[in-house]
Amino acid sequence: MPLLEVEDLRVAYGKIEAVKGISFTVDAGQVVTLIGTNGAGKTTTLRTLSGLLKPLAGKITFDGEVINDMGAHKIVAKGLAHSPEGRRIFPRLTITENLQLGAFLRKDTAGVQRDIDRAYSLFPILGERRSQAAGTLSGGEQQMLAMGRALMSQPKLLMLDEPSMGLSPIMMQKIMETITELKAQGTTILLVEQNAQAALSLADHGHVMEIGTIALSGTGQELMHDESVRKAYLGED
Ligand SMILES: Nc1ncnc2c1ncn2[C@@H]1O[C@H](COP(=O)(O)OP(=O)(O)OP(=O)(O)O)[C@@H](O)[C@H]1O
Ligand SMILES: [Mg+2]
């Protein structure tokens, strides 16, 4: 059984249907990526899986349970974490405080401390600056903090919405290396990216979204070598 199963999901903002019936699965241990142009419905999909938006129709099954009508906190508690688009860290709080907020549902103080240490070993720059306000971090460092914070809920599935957005090539490479490392540690990841090349090169499976639908699916390698994907998303002609 897949860890996440999305069946014929439809999501609308008022009368505008942003997601028009998509289906995909994520197996435990996999990295699955959703790629596609601006406005394709990627963020809408992640926000719906997180319980922040209610689906119009369809069925979302996570870890053996239908979560369509579950509240956002319950979904986090069940093991689905979301590192949102645009990071949304708390700039006035320290880096450590931001990480602690990611663990707000946990009662195991020792375990939380261990996971904070783990975040600092994954991202040493965060450890060095742990007592500083998070707003003083660079964009790439704030992205690391957002990922670290999402990991603090000990997720079974980590959803990342455009972790490379606005980053320099070096920072982007660092983020992609971290995703690879998390995968090697057994974290299951649903990765939304506009950087198709980077996402497909590390994903087991990928889906190309176009105006609310999935236009094409395949393994990361298949999509990377698909001619239409190369033309539309990898800057080739
Ligand atoms: N709060 C909202 N109210 C109305 N329409 C919205 C809202 N949020 C998103 N949309 C619309 O829904 C569609 C899908 O948006 P979404 O943010 O999911 O796209 P995306 O694939 O994440 O795009 P991007 O790559 O630019 O982040 C777009 O047409 C967008 O304008
Ligand atoms: Mg988006």
Protein residue with its CA nearest to atom 5 in ligand 1: 13
User: 207 pLDDT exceeds 90?
Assistant: yes
State what percent of residues in the chain have pLDDT above 90.
78
User: 198 pLDDT exceeds 80?
Assistant: yes
Residue pLDDT, tens place only, 93-116: 999 999 999 998 889 999 999 999
- Distance (angstroms) between ligand 1 centre and the Cα of 19 equals 9
Ligand 1 atom at minimal distance to the Cα of residue 192? 22
Residue pLDDT, tens place only, 71-89: 999 999 999 999 988 778 9
pTM (two decimals): 0.94
- Decide: 189 in ligand 1 pocket, CB within 6 A: no
- Distance (angstroms) between ligand 2 centre and the Cα of 73 equals 22
Protein residue with its CA nearest to atom 17 in ligand 1: 43
Mean pLDDT score across all residues of the chain: 93
Q: Residue 228 burial (CB < 10 Å; 0-12/13-18/19+)? A: exposed
**Cβ neighbours of 43 (radius 10 Å):** 18
- Distance (angstroms) between ligand 2 centre and the Cα of 84 equals 9
Ligand 1 atom at minimal distance to the Cα of residue 162? 27
Residue pLDDT, tens place only, 112-131: 999 999 999 999 999 999 99
**Cβ neighbours of 136 (radius 10 Å):** 12
Contacts of range 168-172, beta carbons closer than 8 Å, 24 or more positions apart:
168/140, 171/138, 171/139, 171/140, 171/143, 172/140, 172/198
Say what the pLDDT of residue 169 is: 87
Protein residue with its CA nearest to atom 18 in ligand 1: 41
- Decide: 25 in ligand 1 pocket, CB within 6 A: no
- Distance (angstroms) between ligand 2 centre and the Cα of 192 equals 8
Say what the pLDDT of residue 170 is: 87
User: 200 pLDDT exceeds 70?
Assistant: yes
Distances (CA, A) of 33 to 30, 41, 191, 237: 10, 13, 5, 23
Read off the pLDDT band of 236 (50, 70, 90). Answer: low
